[in-house]
Amino acid sequence: MSQESKSPTNNDLRDLLRLNHHHLLYFAAVMDCGGVQAASRHLGVTATTISWQIRALEAVIGQKLFLRRRQRLLPSPFGERAYILVSAWLATGRRVLACIEKSTDSKPPPLHVGLANGVPLLVAARILTAVRARMGDRQLICRTTRHDTLLDELTHHRLDLVLTDRPAARFGIDLTMRWVEASGIAWCALANPQRPFPDCLHRAAVILPMRGSAMRESIDAWLTQLGLDPLVVAECSESALVKTLGASGMGMFPVPAIVADQVCTQYAVTVIGRQAGETERYMLVTHSSQPLSELDSLVP
C-alpha cells in the first residue's frame, strides 16, 4: 500500500467527498421548515427533489434521518444529532462568506488611468510606478488613446486620472493639472555617426514621433532654429515603434532624456547627443471636484 493511501488526511478528504453539500442543505431546510412541503416552498424546488436528496443522503451515511409517524415526518434520533452538526457546519459557512464579503468590500476601488498617445511608454511606466506607490493597493486600469478623447472621458467621470504631454485647453472648474515630470530630448542611434551632433542629423535618416505630439513640435522647432533638414524615413504614433525601428538601424531617433539610459540598455543603442533645455513636460489631470491629494508629492 502506498504512503499516500495511508495518510489520515487523504482518507478524511475521501470521506468528505462522499457528502454532497446540497444534500446537507436540503436536510437542514426540512428540519428548519418542519417538513418537505414547507421546505419546498422555501427553497423554490419541488417536494420530489427534496425527498430524493434526503434519500440520497441517507444512502451515503447508512442511517435514517426521518421516521414517518401517523402521516407526519419526524426526525429520527440520529437525524436530531445530525441536525446539530449540520447547523454548526452552516454557521461556519456563513462566517466564511461574511469574511469574504468583508474582504471584498474593504478592497479599494481601481484607479482608471488614461494615457495620451504622445506619452512615451517608458516615461508612462516611470510615472505610473510612482503613482501606484502613493496610492497604496489600488489597481491601475490603463488605456491609451488621443489626448482630447481622454479629457472628455475624464470630464464625464469615466476616468480618474489622465497622463498627458499637452495642457488641457479647457481648464477651469472641471479639471486640475499637476506637472509631475520634465525632460529634455536625447537622440539615439544604433552606432555613432561620423559627423558631430547635431550636424549629423542634417540630410540623415531619422525616425520621429507623429506630427501633433508635443515632442514632435519641440523637435521641429529646434531643427528649424538650427537650420537642420533631416530625411524623415518614418513617423510613428507609438513610441515603442520609434525605438524598435531605430534599433534596427533604420535611422536616428529621439527619446526623453530621463529614460535615455534605459532605452540604451533595452534596445542596445547609444546616445549621440542631447537637445539643450527641458522641452518635454508630462502632467496628470484629475477632476477638480475629486482631487487626488496622494499625488501632490509627485509634483516637482
Pair 222, 250 in one domain: yes
Distance in angstroms (rounded) separating the CA atoms of residues 300 and 292 = 16
What's the rounded Cα separation, in Å, for the pair 126 and 225? 31
The C-alpha cell at 91 is: 454557521
Higher pLDDT, 68 or 248: 248
Of 81, 106, 131, which closes a domain?
106
Quick check: 237 pLDDT over 70? Answer: yes
Q: Residues near 182 by Cβ (< 8 Å), separated by ≥ 6?
A: 278, 280, 281, 282, 300
Instruction: Provide, rounded to the nearest whole percent, the portion of the chain with pLDDT above 70.
Output: 85
The pLDDT-based confidence of 272 (bands split at 50, 70, 90) is: very high
On whether both 13 and 37 belong to a single domain, the answer is yes
- Return the number of other C-beta atoms located less than 10 Å from residue 288's C-beta: 13
Pick from 64, 54, 4: which is nearest to 29 by CA? 54
Q: In angstroms, what is the C-alpha Rg of the chain?
A: 34
**Residue 138 and residue 252 in one domain:** no
Over the stretch 43-80, which tens digit does the pLDDT of each residue have?
888 888 888 888 888 888 888 888 888 777 788 888 88
Rounded to an integer, what distance in angstroms lies between the CA atom of residue 255 and that of residue 252? 10
Q: Are residues 76 and 207 in the same domain?
A: no
Asked whether residue 13 carries a pLDDT value surpassing 70, the answer given is: no
pLDDT tens for each residue of 165-204: 887 665 455 677 887 888 999 999 999 999 999 999 999 9
Residues 7 and 102 in one domain: yes
Using the 3D structure, point to which of 91, 106, 121 is the last residue of a domain: 106
Tell me, yes or no, whether 201 and 243 share the same domain: yes
Q: Using an 8 Å Cβ cutoff, are 284 and 161 in contact?
A: yes
**Residue 1 — pLDDT band, cuts 50, 70, 90?**
very low
In a shared domain, residues 155 and 142: yes
Span 251-263, average pLDDT: 95
Same-domain pairing of 128 and 72: no
CB 209 within 8 A of CB 273: no
pLDDT for res 134 = 80
Residue 249: per-residue pLDDT? 95
What pTM did the predictor assign? 0.60
Q: Are 219 and 148 part of one and the same domain?
A: no
269 and 286 housed in the same domain: no
Angle at 161 between CA 155 and CA 164, to 5 degrees: 95
Q: Which amino acid is at 220?
A: D
Over residues 236-242, mean pLDDT: 91
DSSP state of 5: H
Q: Are residues 179 and 86 in the same domain?
A: no
Q: Count up the domains in the chain and report the number.
A: 3
Tell me how far apart the alpha carbons of residues 197 and 186 are, in angstroms, rounded to a whole number. Answer: 11
Q: In this predicted structure, which of 15-19, 129-133, 255-259 has the lowest mean pLDDT?
A: 15-19
CATH classification of the domain holding 171: 3.40.190.10
Average pLDDT of the chain is 83
Domain boundary among 106, 125, 155: 106
Judged against a pLDDT cut of 50, whether residue 280 lies above it is answered with yes
Please choose, from the candidates 139, 168, 133, the residue with its C-alpha nearest in 3D space to the C-alpha of residue 154: 168
Is 97 in the same domain as 137? Answer: no
Structural domain including 164 reads 111-183+281-298
